[in-house]
Amino acid sequence: MVKKMVTKKKRKRKTGLNTKAKKKEAVARAVVRKGTGKIKINKRDLSLFEPKYLKDFIEEPLKILPDLAKEVDIEVNVKGGGFMGQASSARSTIAKSLALYSKDEKVKKALLAYDRLLLVDDVRRVESKKPLGTKARKKKQKSKR
């Protein structure tokens, strides 16, 4: 019996500028390239996003820099975490990609003035559970008698 060699196909890396953002367990990676203003998150168009408040939340960096947003295409891939952590990390990586694409200090200052979390990742993580407790810090109540 002859064994066939199975070779894995290498995934092509998307060309353009790559950025990454994290919030809790959610990790978002974005590729920005010259285009017509299309924003896709996990291969879905941003205009199809539901609920509306999440869509508006993710679009905030695009509303701060509307002229720059119209000249680039951004493709975001988000994994892990919950829906709000994913939305926050997607929003942050879109802002980072716009700042990286423009290479202008005024763009960075405008984003930082609006919200610092657009360009700086949130380093807080969930604390691990400890023994004798139901959560990280909560403990079983001690009996006095």
The model's pLDDT over 1-23, given as tens digits with 9 standing for 90+, comes to 677 777 777 777 668 899 999 99
The CB-side HSE value for 133 (13 A sphere, CA atoms) comes to 10
Taking the model in full, what pTM does it have? 0.84
| Spatial contact of 62 and 47, defined as CB atoms under 8 Å apart | no
CA 138 from centre of chain:
31
Q: Give the residues across from 34 on adjacent strands.
A: 72
Distance CA 129, CA 114 (A): 35
58-109 pLDDT, tens per residue? Answer: 999 999 999 999 999 999 999 999 999 999 999 999 999 999 999 999 999 9
Q: In what order do the strands lie in the sheet with 17-23?
A: 17-23, 26-34, 72-79, 39-41, 44-45
Distance CA 73, CA 138 (A): 46
What pLDDT is stored for residue 1 in this prediction?
A: 66
CATH number of 17-115: 3.30.230.10
Handedness of CA 33, 34, 39, 45 (dihedral sign): negative
Q: Domain spans of the chain?
A: 17-115
Give, in order, the Cα–Cα distances in Å from 112 to each of 65, 95, 115, 122: 12, 10, 5, 14
